[in-house]
Amino acid sequence: MTKDKIKIAIVGAPNVGKSSFFNNLIGGRRAIVEDIEGITRDRIYADININKFFNEYTHFENVIFIDTGGLFFEKDSLFEGVQKQVELAVEESDCIIFMTDGRRGVTPIDKKIANLMRKHNKPIILLVNKLDSADLFNLSAEFYKLSLGDPISFSCKPQAFRSTIGALLERLEEEDLLKKGKEKTDTEDFPKIVLLGKPNTGKSSILNKIVGYERSLVHDVAGTTRDALDTELIYEDKKLLLIDTAGLRRKSKVYGELERFSVDRSIKGLVRADIAVLIIDATEGGISHQEKKLASLIKDRLKGCIIVINKWDLITEKDFEAYKDFIKGELNFLNYAPIVIVSAKTGQRIKNILDESLKVYENLHKKIKTNILNTAIREITALRVLNSKLKIYYATQSGVNPICFTVFVNDPKHFDPNYSRYIENSLRTEFGLEGVPIKWDVRKSENKSRN
């Protein structure tokens, strides 16, 4: 049995240290940290086990912290979008951590944020950050003027973080948040789906259509999503996790550490996923080098795959079969991936992405009985002999997600890529393994009498 997890939103002006605080909690970089205002634009979630800081806080095991973008209050469509993201994070949270910059002092923006947060009628804990030594703690006194109770002097510097977080945990205990957790039964494993593509192909728009609200910030600037974002949802009574990522550019077009880290995060999103949804812009009329590289990464990482063609509503001469054949030709190493044509703008066929994802996830976990597998392989190899030197004695399924077959042969060097592809394609047809990569574990048989 587990508890429903407590959610705590971290809010504040840009560059006050929210993401540094968040990254210290998780013990690594999940939110982007760089000395530029407005770096974090979307909401980033992390499940934190407080035990790693203090054993006496064992009852804080199930806490989700939500990092948010810096509030700026400018008449700018991007920052209006950030504010909307912050408010969504606060609405779903049980408590608010309002972080400020102690060295900067109380600013007009801090006052606006305080007023905005009060409207939500939720516990607010005021952290005064960047007070990196005890002789600076007196600077937090100025923040009483925000009328949010006792401010906590805080530091995200590694040497001070452990000691100052103790005061925060004590305040969380005072708020008695843990009693809100309700017992529930642990759920089974569920599909994790990553959305990948070049910048501005419509990844975030597709995500928003799927979940029905703006979980990820959408703005008409390529590269708006710079973090990998997780969204849980229930579809057809099944739990899914969607991971939205920054658009991947060619290395020559990755500017600075900030965007390089976003690219790295997108790849990590792929590593965490079971299924990769490769999103392509139909209006561009072809497959770019970046998209071929992405497809190659999906193949190499042995992920289930769906190819989604977005912006189909903007195509005047629609010939789906011809376009599908073109995509299959350009991305022939992903020829097992189903192709879905959608419009994020109109919502046309968007749910087909989830339908296909559930099918692929089921295919990733298929188990084929050994006798049935060997019968199929004998029939497949009898139909077409590509290498007369190869003898396949026996095969068995040795893994799922990805599907892995261990095959015993006379000499592994004769099990060449052309022959393995032929057998793979035939097995996909025979057992309905659409969207699924196949991994081969080829071994030299020590028992030639096997059949």
Q: What is the pLDDT of residues 274-326, one digit of tens each?
A: 999 999 999 888 898 888 888 988 998 899 999 999 999 888 777 888 888 99
Taking the C-alpha atoms of residue 225 and residue 213, their distance in angstroms, rounded to an integer, is 16
The per-residue DSSP string of 112-129 comes to: HHHHHHHTT---EEEEEE
pLDDT score recorded for residue 94: 87
Is the CB of residue 315 less than 8 Å from the CB of residue 168? no
Q: What is the pLDDT of residues 326-361, one digit of tens each?
A: 999 999 989 999 999 999 999 899 999 999 999 999
Taking the C-alpha atoms of residue 21 and residue 423, their distance in angstroms, rounded to an integer, is 51
Structure tokens at 434: 């659409």
Query: Residue 13, SS3?
Result: coil
Taking the C-alpha atoms of residue 448 and residue 431, their distance in angstroms, rounded to an integer, is 27
Taking the C-alpha atoms of residue 355 and residue 341, their distance in angstroms, rounded to an integer, is 13
> Is pLDDT above 60 for 228?
no
Query: How sure is the predictor about 255, in pLDDT bands with cuts at 50, 70 and 90?
Result: very low
Is the CB of residue 229 less than 8 Å from the CB of residue 196? no
pLDDT score recorded for residue 307: 97
The per-residue DSSP string of 391-408 comes to: -EEEEEEEETTTEEEEEE
| Of 4 and 322, more confident | 322
pLDDT score recorded for residue 433: 96
Is the CB of residue 136 less than 8 Å from the CB of residue 52? no
Q: What is the pLDDT of residues 240-252, one digit of tens each?
A: 888 877 545 444 4
Taking the C-alpha atoms of residue 409 and residue 212, their distance in angstroms, rounded to an integer, is 52
> Is pLDDT above 60 for 179?
no
Q: What is the pLDDT of residues 211-220, one digit of tens each?
A: 874 445 444 4
> Is pLDDT above 50 for 186?
no
- Mean pLDDT, residues 432-444 taken together: 93
Query: Residue 8, SS3?
Result: strand
- Mean pLDDT, residues 156-180 taken together: 74
130: which strand partners? none
Query: Residue 131, SS3?
Result: coil
User: pTM, whole model, 2 decimals?
Assistant: 0.59
Structure tokens at 304: 């289930």
Query: How sure is the predictor about 362, in pLDDT bands with cuts at 50, 70 and 90?
Result: very high
Q: Is 309 exposed, middle or buried (0-12, 13-18, 19+ CB in 10 A)?
A: buried
Q: Which range scores top for mean pLDDT: 79-83, 124-128, 388-392, 420-424?
A: 124-128
pLDDT score recorded for residue 216: 52
Task: Calculate the average pLDDT of the chain.
Answer: 80
pLDDT score recorded for residue 271: 77
pLDDT score recorded for residue 396: 94
Is the CB of residue 136 less than 8 Å from the CB of residue 102? yes
| Of 89 and 10, more confident | 10
Query: Residue 58, SS3?
Result: helix
Query: How sure is the predictor about 365, in pLDDT bands with cuts at 50, 70 and 90?
Result: very high
Give me the sign of the Cα torsion angle 310, 313, 314, 318.
positive
Residue 435: left if φ>0, alpha if ψ -120 to 50, beta else—which one? left
> Is pLDDT above 70 for 40?
no
Taking the C-alpha atoms of residue 146 and residue 126, their distance in angstroms, rounded to an integer, is 9
E strands along 157-228, which residues? 183-184, 192-197
> Is pLDDT above 70 for 3?
no
Structure tokens at 448: 């030639």
| Of 192 and 183, more confident | 192
CA 178 to chain centre: 27
> Is pLDDT above 70 for 367?
yes
SS (H, E, C) 250-269: CHHHCCHHHHHHHHHHHHHH
pLDDT score recorded for residue 236: 86
pLDDT score recorded for residue 98: 96
Q: Amino acid letter at 64?
A: I
pLDDT score recorded for residue 258: 40
Whose tokens are 């928003």? That residue is 208
> Is pLDDT above 60 for 450?
no
> Is pLDDT above 80 for 71?
yes
Query: How sure is the predictor about 28, in pLDDT bands with cuts at 50, 70 and 90?
Result: low
Query: How do beta strands 229-235 and 238-244 pair?
Result: antiparallel
Give me the sign of the Cα torsion angle 434, 439, 442, 447.
negative
pLDDT score recorded for residue 1: 37
Peptide bond into 191 cis (omega under 30): no
Is the CB of residue 294 less than 8 Å from the CB of residue 248? yes
In Å, the largest CA–CA distance within the chain is: 85
Taking the C-alpha atoms of residue 236 and residue 246, their distance in angstroms, rounded to an integer, is 28
Kind plus residue range of the DSSP H or E element containing 305: strand 304-310
> Is pLDDT above 80 for 51?
no
Q: Let me know the angle formed at the C-alpha of 64 by 173 and 99, rounded to the nearest 5 degrees.
A: 70
DSSP percent split of the chain into helix, strand, coil, nearest 5: 40, 20, 35
> Is pLDDT above 90 for 427?
yes
Query: How sure is the predictor about 58, in pLDDT bands with cuts at 50, 70 and 90?
Result: very low
